[in-house]
Amino acid sequence: MSARDVFRKIIGIELDENSPFGYPARQRTLDVSHNVILYLDDITVSFDGFKALNKLNLMIDAGELRCIIGPNGAGKTTMMDVITGKTRPDSGSAFFGQTIDLTQLSEPQIAHAGIGRKFQKPTIFEQHSVFENLELAMTTDKRALTTLTAWLRDDDRDRIADTLRLIRLDGEADRPAGLLSHGQKQWLEIGMLLMQEPKLLLLDEPVAGMTDDETMRTAELFVSLAGKHSLVVVEHDMAFVKALGGKVTVLHEGSVLAEGDLDAVQNDQRVIEVYLGR
């Protein structure tokens, strides 16, 4: 046993083989041989006895664009918390591809495995410039010691410039992100997500606060991302969900109530009751 192994045993953390202080980019390979990128199996999460998720089952195909809808408090955000390691489930399992057990990984490890997340309330670095926000998100070696001497190569700058154009913030690159409008902040956060090059994108209410025009552009962007990426989109805006056109899952009281295309779901008697009964 090497000194390194002993150290690891004593302090009980996983250090990377190559060097200490964090995680190198992409250490875990994603296995989607069964064409499924995310499995949630019987996930239960309770807060002081209240079950925010109750035996939730969900399966997302590789390349799929899935919409999750459901009334307030249905557990949509909690589900994303479980997938990204913020909340540990009381029971059940969560797998990314065939092999990666999400319940065993920390938030940064999950990010490196290839899951990116956009928060319900736009969360960006307000004091940093728009450019720096994208720079920080960009896939690269993110260990603490390497960031000391990290520098931007020309192709890194090109990538950031491309993303700036895509999210239509190329005129705002040097402004502090805190000065952006709400809709622009949403776009910036989406841009940060793209810089991370995740395999699976979790988007919690991405078009809240956007104009109709911005909403439709976002829908176009997401549709164009599907296939190469897998997307899970939580949204209340039905026009947006319709524009995305994917399969829809209805969450209610912490479990799946209905699943199918939007028309079928909207005509489902139980779904109507849940939404009208409130």
Partner 1 sequence: MREPLIFRMLSALDARARLGVAAFLAVALGLVPVLHLALPPESAFHVSTYAITLLGKIMCYAIVALAMDLIWGYGGILSLGHGIFFALGGYAFGMYLMRQIGRDGSYQSDLPDFMVFLDWKKLPWYWTGSDSFLWVALLVVVVPALVAFVFGYFAFRSRIKGVYFSIITQALTYAAMLLFFRNETGFGGNNGFTDFKRVLGYSITSSETRLVLFGVTAGVLALTFVFARWLVASKFGRVLTAIRDAESRVMFIGYDPLWFKLFIWTLSAVLCGIAGALYVPQVGIINPSEMSVANSIEIAIWVAVGGRGTLIGPIVGAFVVNLAKSWFTVSFPEYWLFFLGLLFIVVTLLLPQGLVGLWHTLRRAKGART
Ligand X SMILES: Nc1ncnc2c1ncn2[C@@H]1O[C@H](COP(=O)(O)OP(=O)(O)OP(=O)(O)O)[C@@H](O)[C@H]1O
47 binds ligand X (CB under 6 A): yes
Fill in the amino acid letter for 80. M
Pick the closer one to partner 1 by CB: 6 or 25.
25
Using CB distances below 5 to 8 A depending on partner kind, what does residue 229 bind out of partner 1, Mg ion, ligand X, none?
none
Q: Does 75 bind ligand X (CB under 6 A)?
A: yes
- Examine residue 108 and tell whether it contacts partner 1 (CB under 8 A): yes
CA distance 128 to 276: 43
Q: Cite the beta strand spans of the chain per DSSP E.
A: 36-47, 50-61, 65-69, 91-96, 100-101, 115-118, 200-204, 230-234, 247-252, 255-260
SS3 24: coil
C-beta of 119 vs 161, nearer to ligand X: 119
Shortest distance, CB of residue 52 to Mg ion, whole angstroms? 10
Closest approach, Cβ 147 to partner 1, in A, equals: 4
What lies within 8 Å, CB to CB, of 121 at 6+ separation is none
209 contributes a contact to ligand X by CB under 6 A: no
Q: Which of 5, 90, 101, 107 binds partner 1 (CB under 8 A)?
A: 107
Instruction: Give which of Mg ion, ligand X, partner 1, none residue 103 binds (C-beta under 5 to 8 Å, depending on kind).
Output: none
N- to C-terminal Cα separation, the chain: 61
**52 is a site residue for ligand X (CB under 6 A):** yes
Token pair 């990984």: residue: 105
Residue 200, H or E segment: strand 200-204
Instruction: Name the binder of 199 from partner 1, ligand X, Mg ion, none, CB < 5-8 A by kind.
Output: none
Task: Copy the structure tokens of residue 21.
Answer: 């202080």
The residue (of 94 and 169) whose beta carbon lies closer to ligand X is 94
Is residue 150 close enough to count as binding partner 1 by CB under 8 A?
A: yes
The answer to whether residue 125 forms part of the interface with partner 1 (CB under 8 A) is yes
Residue 142 as a binder of ligand X (CB under 6 A): the answer is: no
CB 107 within 8 A of CB 84: yes
Structure tokens of 96? 């990314």
Using CB under 8 A as the criterion, which residues of the chain lie in contact with partner 1 when the complex forms?
Answer: 11, 13, 20-23, 25, 84, 86, 106-108, 111-112, 116-117, 119, 123-128, 132, 135-137, 139, 142-145, 147-151, 192, 196
